[in-house]
Amino acid sequence: MQAKVNLHLAGKEIRTGPRLSAAVLSAAIGILAPTTCRLGESLPVHAPAEGFNIRAESFRAGADIPRKFSCQGSDASPAVLWTEPPAGTQSLALIADDPDAPAGTWVHWVLYDLPSSVRRLSEAISPSEEVAGGGRQGVNDFGKLGYGGPCPPPGKAHRYFFKIYALDKRLDLKAGATKSDLERAMNGHVLAKAEVMGRYHR
């Protein structure tokens, strides 16, 4: 006679029948398995977060970024919004960069210590140290504070990734930090990550 098997997943006990089904076992492995994220530098993620997503209001994922958000236009930052971050999120950070730049990945925007309650960045964020509603801005690879729009050399379209990170702590970095500063501070504190990509060419 086979004994019942009880599983404890996410703090809840799951009672199975006489046999542990492959589906239940698979679910258990999927929940317990660690995940990592990588794009730019690899930052470990504590746990998967179902439904954590980011999108741009100003362009469709994978589509062209309008000219107004580039160096050929008004260089305004696009509006982006994201869904509910995972439980335990204490702050949010955002990095926008171009991995197709001739000299290597080019950083266009660095923000951090956004309150966990924030769900949207409006269009044309002012290039100031402090973000209205909470948060700080870092320095981009143009050497300027805040957002710097796509400005690739003529030719093939480049990809621009807007990445949002849910963190288990407030970083308390001073304004003007670089992407490298931010990634070092975030290491070991990323609960979840989401990204959206747009394209631009001249």
Residue 43, pLDDT score = 66
Residue 39, pLDDT score = 36
pLDDT of 94 above 60: yes
Structural domain span for residue 4? 1-33
Total structural domains within the chain: 2
Same structural domain, 40 and 124: yes
CA dist., res. 39 & res. 90, Å (int): 23
The model carries a pTM of 0.77
Same structural domain, 6 and 55: no
Quick: pLDDT tens for 3-20. 433 433 333 343 444 443
pLDDT band, residue 69 (cuts 50/70/90): very high
CA dist., res. 61 & res. 57, Å (int): 10
pLDDT of 31 above 60: no
Kindly report the CATH number assigned to the domain that includes residue 128: 3.90.280.10
